[in-house]
Amino acid sequence: MMPKLSGMSTRALWTLLAILFTICLFPPIPSPAEELSVLAGMTESVDSGGMSPSWEVMFRHNFLRNFAASLSWINEGRLEEHSRDGIAAQGWGRVPLLDNRLSIGVGAGIYNYFDTVQQQEGGHKNVHGWAPVYSLSATYYPREPWFAQVAVNHIHPGGDFRSDTFLAGVGYRLWKEADTPSGRRERDPVWTTGYEVAPFLGQVVLNRPDNDPGIGSGIEFRMGIDEHLDWTATWLNEDVPRTFHRTGLGTQIWLVDAFLARRITLGFGAGLYSFVDREPTPDSAENERLDIAGLLTVTASYRFSDRWFTRFNWNRVMSNDSRDSDNFLLGLGYRWGRRSGDE
């Protein structure tokens, strides 16, 4: 359920929307590239004043000179009994200055957060929620394709602690091959992805104060269904000794794109994960439990030939029994069929 905004939050939201609208009145001209940035800094709790290291990875798509949209993963670190992170989707208004070498941006959007809360009586609880997020950034482009960036985020949930993050870092402009004057080239692909299959192996981490690690594995079938849309079916196996052993099938829809001569692909997927837990919680009378969880994934792949690629997946499993997990999986895969960029 969406949190109810306070009066101050509502006024701030309308102010930011007015700024975005005003910025978009500038003459629109095409903006060349997508941007990937990695930032680090500090989080400050507005409520308690506590501080913690934090980081953010942002992918920003520039529609026009003065407008962009972004997806970010924000890790706010650990503040007292809280350990919170999540994904933010934002719209941006930007003003270019100094002959386009400096850009000031104002962003507003929604933040889907995951908070691991340590209980006073012992144990922990995984809290999921939504919050408005407001951002201000300054980006300096000293030399293509690299840039430097500083950013401030204000996160304002209704039922959790409010925070400000102060971040700085570097980024890279992801270029694509230009279209011909007549439009798409004859051999341009219809899909970013054809058909792919890849086995994975890596680490699974249970999201609780001790961050218990285990072994994660799986196999993924991926199919392009549109130029920037994929569908996947993934068999996952998560084994954290003496804690849980989940095995099941996940299915997701993805936003994807290819860069750098279509050798690099980036994507974000969301879907469901149906699993059998062979080590249910201690208060469960069952030896095995069938359940469904949400599944979010960030992915990156490198195509080192027309047929072979390597892929990294970061899965976040959103459980309903306070056993959220992260799966960090690396795989080697084979691709075939359809024109998907370099075939």
- Matching fold, domains 7-174 and 195-336: yes
Q: What is the pTM of this model?
A: 0.82
Q: How confident is the chain (343 residues) per 10-residue block, as mean pLDDT?
A: 43 50 45 84 88 95 87 91 91 92 94 87 83 96 91 91 94 70 50 93 88 91 93 95 90 93 92 87 66 94 95 94 92 83 52
Does domain 7-174 fall into CATH 3.30.1490.20?
no
Burial (0-12, 13-18, 19+ Cβ within 10 Å), 310? middle
Q: What pLDDT does 5 receive?
A: 42
Residues 56 and 170: beta-carbon distance below 8 Å? no
Q: Is the dihedral of CA 267, 252, 223, 109 positive or negative?
A: negative
For residue 3, the number of C-alpha atoms closer than 13 Å in the C-beta half-sphere is: 23
- What was the pLDDT predicted at 160? 82
CA 75 distance to own-chain centroid: 11
Phi, psi for 211 (deg, rounded to 5): 50, 55
pLDDT at 339: 57
Give the 3-state secondary structure of residue 20. Answer: helix
Say how far apart CA 140 and CA 97 lie, in whole Å: 10
Q: Of 63, 261, 70, nearest to 176 (Cα)?
A: 261
Tell me what pLDDT residue 281 has.
60
Domain parsing of the chain, residue ranges? 7-174, 195-336
Query: 195-336: what fold?
Result: Porin (2.40.160)
Distance of CA 299 to the CA centre of its chain: 9
| Those residues with Cβ within 8 angstroms of residue 140's Cβ, 6 or more apart along the chain or in another chain | 101, 102, 147, 148, 149
